[in-house]
Amino acid sequence: MSFVKEVSRWILAGVNSVIQSIENDEIDRIVDVLLEARENKILLLGTGRSGFVGRAFALRLMHLGFNVYVSGETITPALTPEDLVLAISGSGTTTTVVAQAEVSKGVGSKVVAVTSHQDSALAHLADEVIVVKGRTKIDQDFDYDRRQITGEYDNAPLGTMFEISVMVFLDSVIAYLMQKLGETEIDLRKRHANAE
């Protein structure tokens, strides 16, 4: 088999383990929180690849009729205590994400963190945390010497496992929201951009 396909298979197996290890009640709560936010605003926070995964989710929420915004883009409205902030950061320490989540808390908005680290600054200030593992615990210390020798993460470097896991997980949450809201693909397509 081609090396590329072999790596894909290995990544997909890893992603499956990560997603199956998410706590069921954390999944239930994020679905409830999203459904409650349907009449209000949702703001997505995230930088780099976590930000792209967040935007992919935001787009589907929009296709589902949610009133959703992405931090860093032109149109980002004033948050209110009724609004929901969804912050994605594998490490839970990304400077701007933590800073914006803090401001959001100050405004009174509900903050949901999607992170690998339950003990991170982001997780600590969030109202709800979804733990999506992406790396083992040793990652917190990033043991350069050991990695230099083993190369153990070279097939899914940095946040790769976290980011793909979050993308697949959030797309599965979309499928559940569709079912709950009685929305079909046809409904989504009607809200899809037609001048892009």
Residues marked active site are found at 163
Residues 6+ apart with CB under 8 A from 80: 40, 41, 107, 108, 109
Give the C-alpha separation, 31 to 67, whole Å. Answer: 16
Select the span of 33-41, 97-105, 116-124 touching its own copies (CB under 8 A).
97-105
- Total count of residues recorded for the chain: 196
Residues between 37 and 66 that touch its own copies (CB under 8 A): 43, 47-49, 52-53, 55-56, 58-60, 62-63
> Nearer to its own copies by C-beta: 38 or 147?
147
In this chain, which of 36, 82, 99, 136 binds its own copies, going by CB under 8 A? 99
In this chain, which of 32, 36, 82, 171 binds its own copies, going by CB under 8 A? 171
Q: What b/e readout covers 110-131, taking b as 16+ CB neighbours within 10 angstroms?
A: bbbbbbbbeebbbbebbebbbb
> Nearer to its own copies by C-beta: 36 or 152?
152
Does the footprint of its own copies cover residue 74 (CB under 8 A)?
yes
Total residues in contact with its own copies, by rule CB under 8 A:
90
- φ, ψ (nearest 5 deg) of residue 143: -80, 90
Q: Copy the structure tokens of residue 171.
A: 């797309």
Select the span of 32-40, 114-122, 146-154 touching its own copies (CB under 8 A).
146-154
